[in-house]
Amino acid sequence: MPLLRGGRPLKRWRWVGAFSADAMLCVASARVGGVPLSWWAIWDGRELHERTYRRAGPVRLTPGRAVAPGIELALAEGAGVETVSPHGRQYIATRKQGGVEATGTVLGRPFAGRAVIDDSAGYHARATAWRWSAGVGVAESGAAVAWNLVDGVHDAPSASERTVWVDGVPHEVGPQAFAPGLAGVGGLAFTALAVRSRRERLGVFASDYEQPFGTFAGELPVAGPLREGRGVMERHDVRW
């Protein structure tokens, strides 16, 4: 994909979120018009550790692997769910993987959990806003579940990126309403444990971002009631 198309700069990122009963974390690397940005965050059950870099920094994301300070994970990646959508006068694309096995070490301790992986790229409109939720859990039926729910991008009534995985099988689901204040989505209620947020303005670029880690209770489409759930909610309003 060229760095510029129809007057819009290319945005590209990979985000990995991994969740277990002991820790929750994210590692990400992005480029906006060729300018690099990377970050990581860990909720260890007591406090939030995080760092953002205006460069690639020590974050390394390669197929099957996520490395950052305090984080070293192997990821059992698969094919994922791919979506391409119009956005403004151009287009955007994404590939989501849910319920990916993630093993390794976090803050020097063994980690075994499951992950959601977001690979996205495109020529987003100048003003873009979305609400997003990604997580993993166990249904009351005993099935392993994961989800990716969104409003604002790739959210058409059909052929969307909205996906619920049940024992590894992806199912597209219909639109799910986001509660005010990131209190939940669809039939899921969310309890925030730690919040990663960032607000910045750099020339023509402005971003207002909030992504709490937390727990979920309630019911998922296709999967039914949850026995347990962990993951993130996200609000991002950006001009780029």
State the pLDDT at residue 56.
83
State the pLDDT at residue 204.
82
Q: Looking at the predicted structure, is the pLDDT value of residue 203 above 90?
A: no
Burial of 88 (0-12, 13-18, 19+ CB in 10 A): middle
Given the DSSP bridges, would you call strands 169-172 and 163-166 parallel, antiparallel or unpaired? antiparallel
Using pLDDT thresholds of 50, 70 and 90, give the confidence band for residue 134.
very high
Cα distance between residue 65 and residue 102, in whole Å? 9
Residue 59: phi, psi to the nearest 5?
Answer: -80, 125
Tell me the per-residue pLDDT of 84-108, one tens digit each, with 9 for 90 and over: 999 999 999 999 999 999 999 999 9
